[in-house]
Structures are given as C-alpha cells and as structure tokens.
Structure 1
Amino acid sequence: MSKPAWLLLVIAALIFSYYARPFYDFSWVVMSRIRDAVTTRLGAPMLRQERQQVLDSADGQAREMDAYLQGLRDAQSLDRTLAALDFSSTDNYVLSTKAMRARFQESLRYPPPGYLDAITGKVADEPAGEDGIATYRRLEIPVLPGVHAIGYYMRPRNAGARDKLPLVIAAAGRGGIPEPTADGKLPIVQHDSKDFAWEALRRGYAVWLPTFAHFAFGSNDYRDRLAVNAWESGTSLPAIEIAKVVKALDVLTQRDDIDPQRVAMIGHSYGGFYTLYTSALEPRIRVAAVSAYLNDRAKVLDASAPGGFLDWRYPDSLTLWRDPAVVALVAPRPLLFIAGNQDQLFPIEGARRTAPEAARVYKQLGIGERFEFSEFVARHDFNGAAALDFVDKYMGRGAGSPK
C-alpha cells in the first residue's frame, strides 16, 4: 500500500475514533456493570439485612427528625417573643421592636437585593379613565432592576384637585379578579361592599390598588417557581412584593394630593397576608385591616398539600413568626382582623384560637381597644364595610391619625 493510502487510512481511523467516543464510553460503562455483577455474585458474602429492616430503619430516622423539627416549632411560644419587648410605654415598646423587626427582615430576606440602589427609572403615570365615582390613573413604578410596582391610583370624583386625601392601599387576594363583564373586560371597581376600592372611594379616600403576581395564563405553578427562584437568589417572593408596596408608598406620599400622615392598608386572603406583613415592616401604615388571613398558621400549612403556600414557608416562619408575633410588630397601631365563620380555606376555629394571642400584645400595652377581631357570616369572603368602618374610626377624613 502506498504511503498516501496509509496516511488517509490513519486520518480516517482518527476521525472515526473521535466520533465513536460516545460508543467507547458506553461500552466501558456496560463492561463495568458486568464486572461488578460478576464480582458481587462470585465474591464472599458480606453483611446482609432484610429489606424490611432497611425500610424500617429509614422510616425510624424520618420520624426522629420529624419529632425534632416539631419540637423546635413547639418550643417557640409567644411568651418568649414578648419577653424581649418593653411594655412600659408605647414609645418604649416601639423602640424595643427594632431588633425584632430586623430579625423579621432577615427571615424574609427583606429588602431584596438591589432595593437600596438608586432607581433612576421614571414613573409611568397615565390616565386610565373616569366614571361617576372616581378618576383613575395607571402607575408603573421602578422598584428593583427591571421590576416595577404596577397598579391603579384612584381619587373620588368629588374631591378637589388640591385636597390632600388620606390613602388606602387595597390589596386583593388570589381570587380578587372579578368576573368579566358583557364586553369581556374586567371591572377594576365594582359597586359592591366586597370590592376593595369602591367602599373606600365612596367614603372619600384616595386608593392605591396594586397588582400582585397571583396569576399567569397557561401556568398554575409559576408562583411556586418564583418562590423557589427567590430563595435560591438570596431573597423571597414576599420580600419582593412587599418592596413593591413600600416603593409605591414612597411615590404616592410625595404627591401634593395625598396626606402622608394618614395611610391605611386593607387586604383579603393573600392581600391580608401582605397587609399584615407590610404593616409590620412599614410604620407609615397607620391603620391596618386584614380579612381572611389570621389563623393557626401551623395547622393551615400542615393541612395544605406538600409544598402548599410555598412562599409562606420561609425560614423560622413557624418558630419565630406565627401570626401573633407578626402582630407584635404592627402594635401599637390599630389592627383589625375579619374572618368568615364558614371560611373553607382558613377554618374559623384557627382564627378564634389565634386572635386572643394577638390581642395580648395590645392588652399588655394598655391599648386593648386598638385590636379588634370580627366574625361575619360568610365563607372566604371580604367585608369592605367592616374594614372601612375600622379605618374611619382611626383615620377618617376629619380625624387625626393615632399616635
């Protein structure tokens, strides 16, 4: 064979060897498996266990760990939380919550990365229409790099352009989107006492109606994926959503037509969660009304499907931060909890057990009247009239805000 022919043969063999590498690797794996199987069969027998023994051992370890974790949850009582607070006066109490609030922020990974950086983006503020009750503007507010707080700013139609109105932040839950009207569009506000904005507008409040990431077309698990992605990235989904409410409040309280000293927040279900948690972190919210959220949080989470309410399962959520402990960070500001006595998601029994614990904080401060728990005949519903009655009581248009 001539030299050029040999050279071509060598080159062809090298090319074949390169592309046949996966085949060689696979063959090596197969031969290794065969070798291990033969060695195991022919070698001297070693320690053996019945399969059931192995399963029982693993199950026993799982039960031990479960009991240990349950013990950690049970050991953290409200008494231990309150022992670190100074109840000698409301001023001293507020000062003593500083370290506790910092620990709460740490658990939530709040504020999210990038929040404290200067946000130079411009607020998009566009008219969205008007009707017989209000004028509406759609705002898009930069909060984090590439992340915006989006919602509707509403003012009663009969309010003067220069009137400095008190502000109500109205937080809807996952079921907060109303049914489409005949034209296929979703009404932003409805003439209904269960609506999150109508009752407030009717009573003369300006309203901020934020949009939360509760829904996405074509995907039922995207919120859980967001929750996991947030933990993996050093923050939490609640931290991001709360930051959006707080940044919107920064912008809205700079307006000439808003009284920054009179801000309330009301919310239902998931919106109730955000109302309680945002009020705990943001002292500019002077009054809060929470509907269909306060409960025995451990029982709610344990009863949900594995991983249910994933964004509520942040570190220490059932050791340090059950609902009464979060309430302690809202005090001494007025706080109302409303619950339907037939709530199918958060059973009324859990709310009835938890409300007295939350009320203890206010009673120890000598301001027990500022905490209210109210039941009404309903399922997982919102009672806008009751929420606004409470807001009126402490922050009505003619009333000063509580100190």
Structure 2
Amino acid sequence: MIKNTRNSNLLLLFLIIISSSLKGQEKTLTKEEDDARIDSYERQLKDYLVQYLVDGYEERSSRLWNRDYSSGYALERSVEPNRRRWKQVLHPPILEKTGAMKKVPYEVNGIRTEWVTLPLGAIVAEGILAFPKEASKDNPVPLIIAQHGIGSGPETPFENGKSYHAYAKGLLEAGFAVLAPMNLRSIERRNNIERYARLAKTSIPGIEFSRMQHLLDVVLEDERIDGNRIGMWGVSLGGMATMFWMPLEPRIKAGIVSAWFNERRNKMVVPDERYSAFIITKEDYVYVPGWLEEFSDDDVVSMIAPRPLQIQHGKKDRIAHWPQVMEEYERAKIHYQKLGIENQIDMVMHEGGHEAIVEPGVAFFKKWLAR
C-alpha cells in the first residue's frame, strides 16, 4: 500500500513537472511576429509560383508541344492537342441563336453603318456592320473583324483618336467590309463579371468568342461578303481577342495584333520599371486560369500559323519593353521560318505608343486577302 502511494506521488510529481515545462513554452505572438510569419509564407508561395510560371516554363513547354513543320497542314495537325487544351483554358460556352438578327441604320463618324443584334438566349451579340460602296452580290468583298480594347466601344475603330486612328474607316476606304463587335468595357466591369464566369467554368474571352462566332455565322449569309476572305484586327484588349480567338476560328484567314503582343511571362508576373506588369495593376480579369501552363505568346502564334499575322508595337508603349517584344517576335517567327513562309509574319515596330498603325495594316490585308 505504501509502495503504491509512493508510485502515485511520483507520477503526480512527474505530471506537475511536465505541465510546468509546457507552460514555460507558452508564448503569445506579437503582431509583428505574426505578420513576419505570414509574410514569410506569402513569399514562399510567390517564389514557388513565379518559379513555376517563369523559370519552369521552357522545360514544361518543351514537353507539351510536339510540332511538325513538314508542311502547314502538318503543323496544324501537330498542335491540335494544344488547341484543344487552349479551348479548355477559355472555356467558351455553347450558346444558341434564339432569334433572327436585327439591323438598324447607325451613323458613326459620318459613316453610314448598321447596328446589328443577335439574340443568344439570355445574351445578345451586337456590334457595327459596315460595307464599302462597291460591295455587292456580284462583287463580294473581304470582311475584317475590328475589335476594340478595354476603354473603347465598337464605334472607336471608326473614330479618329490617339489609339485607333479610324482604322476601320481606312479599311472601308480600301474596299473591306467591317464587323466591329461590342465587348465588355472597363476594368471594373470585367473584373466583376470574370468572377461569375470563373465560378461557371468559363471566361469573358470565352463568352465573347462564342458571341463573335454567332455574329459571324449570320453576317456571312450576306452575299456582299466573301466568306473565304476574313481577317481580324484588334487593338490592345482587342489584340488579346485576336490572339485568343484565331487559334479556335479557322475562318479568320489573317490577323493583326496591335498593342498587345508581349513577352507574356514577364508581362503577367515580373514587375519591371521599364513596363507595366499586370501583377501590379488591378486588372484581375486578365488572369485567365491555365494561360501560362503552355501558352506564351510565341506558342499561341504556332496555333495561328501558317495564316498570315502582323504584329504592331510602339517603342513608347508602356505595356512592354520593346526589346523584349522583339525577342518574343523572333521566337514566334521561327514557326513560319521552319515552314519556309517567313514572309507571312510581319512586325511593325514603330516609334509611337499604344496604337494601331493604319497604312501598313491595310496594306497587309490587301496583300493576303486579295483575290
């Protein structure tokens, strides 16, 4: 009995010592210590993701692309798995036409056009459709999709301004019909709607791509348009649309990307005083999930080739450091060089800023969409 009592006392003493030791280790973090701890974890996450997106891109890309340059058709076949994955990045929804297209007269910058609307269930595809005077059933003309950017509307390509220079008007004067779809404008609106879109496993570029396709379906029923000669010219966010959509829409035979093409990894995640990286802006809508898994700008171009493509960039345009744009362009050009069609990709590196350069753009479409 005495022995059991002694053992119980020893056990109690042991527990008291352990308890006292643990209490001695207790500590309440100060706010500064707590902030330092979570700051460290944030840096870990950032470093991990930047390494994956930027430093790990080349190795990852080399595994995910298997291009065949033996012919243009061979290249198109070889990038088809990437094209399917690209479509999964944008997740364009399946929309259905639920009524006839309506057209009403609409004048913009002294030009007579039509405002077209096409119901797609709860969504409406709409924009401006304009024809040159010479267009007719007996003289069908090429069509250019003129896509506006973030702070603009479908009227902007027809108007004189520091970014657009009425390039749609220049196209009309050169004998092209113009379709200018209306997309969602403003950073705030796109940020807001992109939240809903991601929850629905789609994206604004995907939705607007589907809208454009339906518009194109109906517009091409007009016998004044030659459906085999379609181009697309986008400025800024419209340039994004051109690069995003051309890989998925084979009816677009030639494209111009103004004030968008970039060294994409740097533009998205690497801050630099020489250009404005998206990572330090509030433009959250532009972070399309999966984009940098394998689709840097030069890789996207390989899904556009062998179709003719012109890149326009201004040395004073703060969206990019222009020498990096040239380096990315040289990588993109390789896809055309290996096909022996280097003349079908073109760089207009100009001395201006964030803008479309009309004359070489019109000349480009004249060259590649003429009969």
Regarding TM over 0.5, the answer is: yes
Alignment partners' CA distance in 1, 2:221 and 2:193 = 31
* Equivalent residue number for residue 119 of structure 2: 142
* Equivalent residue number for residue 32 of structure 1: none
Alignment partners' CA distance in 1, 2:260 and 2:160 = 24
Please, which of 134, 148, 152 is the counterpart of residue 128 of structure 2?
152
Please, which of 355, 361, 366 is the counterpart of residue 387 of structure 1?
361
Q: CA deviation at 1:69?
A: 1.1
**Measured at CA, do residues 198 and 174 of structure 1 come closer, stay the same or move farther in structure 2, by a change above 3 Å?**
same
Deviations 1:163-206 (A, max 9, x none): 2111011112124459xxxxxxx787347882131111011011
Aligned AA (2:77): L
Larger CA deviation: 45-54 vs 378-387: 45-54
* Equivalent residue number for residue 149 of structure 2: 173
* Equivalent residue number for residue 27 of structure 2: 48
Matched, 1:205 2:176: yes
Contact 1:135–1:157 (Cα < 8 Å) also in 2: no
Deviations 1:215-255 (A, max 9, x none): 4xxxx612210111110122101101111111111111222
Deviations 1:333-370 (A, max 9, x none): 01110001111233323312211111121122222221
Give the greater-gyration-radius structure (CA). 1
**Measured at CA, do residues 221 and 131 of structure 1 come closer, stay the same or move farther in structure 2, by a change above 3 Å?**
closer
Matched, 1:338 2:318: no
Alignment partners' CA distance in 2, 1:47 and 1:288 = 66
Aligned AA (2:103): D
Unaligned runs of 5+ in 1: 1-42, 179-185
* Equivalent residue number for residue 37 of structure 1: none
Question: For 1:239-388, what aligned pairs fall within 5 Å after superposition?
Answer: 239-302=206-269, 303-304=277-278, 306=280, 308-388=282-362
Q: What TM-score, normalized to structure 2?
A: 0.83
User: In structure 1, the residue corresponding to 2:294 is in which secondary structure?
Assistant: coil
**Measured at CA, do residues 353 and 167 of structure 1 come closer, stay the same or move farther in structure 2, by a change above 3 Å?**
same
* Equivalent residue number for residue 6 of structure 1: none
Aligned AA (1:137): E
User: In structure 2, the residue corresponding to 1:333 is in which secondary structure?
Assistant: coil
**Measured at CA, do residues 360 and 307 of structure 1 come closer, stay the same or move farther in structure 2, by a change above 3 Å?**
same
**Measured at CA, do residues 276 and 347 of structure 1 come closer, stay the same or move farther in structure 2, by a change above 3 Å?**
same
Q: CA deviation at 1:119?
A: 2.3
Deviations 1:57-98 (A, max 9, x none): 333322222222122112122861674122221111111222
**Measured at CA, do residues 291 and 129 of structure 1 come closer, stay the same or move farther in structure 2, by a change above 3 Å?**
closer
Alignment partners' CA distance in 2, 1:127 and 1:162 = 23
Q: What TM-score, normalized to structure 1?
A: 0.77
Matched, 1:99 2:81: yes
Alignment partners' CA distance in 1, 2:130 and 2:329 = 33
Aligned AA (1:77): E
* Equivalent residue number for residue 238 of structure 1: 205
Alignment partners' CA distance in 1, 2:243 and 2:209 = 10
* Equivalent residue number for residue 122 of structure 1: 100
Deviations 1:12-47 (A, max 9, x none): xxxxxxxxxxxxxxxxxxxxxxxxxxxxxxx95663
Alignment partners' CA distance in 2, 1:295 and 1:63 = 26
User: In structure 1, the residue corresponding to 2:118 is in which secondary structure?
Assistant: strand
**Measured at CA, do residues 226 and 130 of structure 1 come closer, stay the same or move farther in structure 2, by a change above 3 Å?**
closer
Deviations 1:113-163 (A, max 9, x none): x42xx423221122225998x6411110123x2111111111112333542
Alignment partners' CA distance in 1, 2:107 and 2:40 = 63
Aligned residues with identical type, % of pairs: 26
Matched, 1:76 2:45: no
* Equivalent residue number for residue 185 of structure 2: 214
* Equivalent residue number for residue 87 of structure 1: 69
Please, which of 42, 46, 49 is the counterpart of residue 66 of structure 1?
46
What root-mean-square deviation, in Å, do the aligned CA atoms of Structure 1 and Structure 2 show?
Answer: 2.6
**Measured at CA, do residues 346 and 384 of structure 1 come closer, stay the same or move farther in structure 2, by a change above 3 Å?**
same
Matched, 1:196 2:167: yes
Aligned AA (1:203): A
Unaligned runs of 5+ in 2: 1-21, 270-276
Alignment partners' CA distance in 1, 2:107 and 2:44 = 61
Q: CA deviation at 1:106?
A: 0.7
* Equivalent residue number for residue 20 of structure 1: none
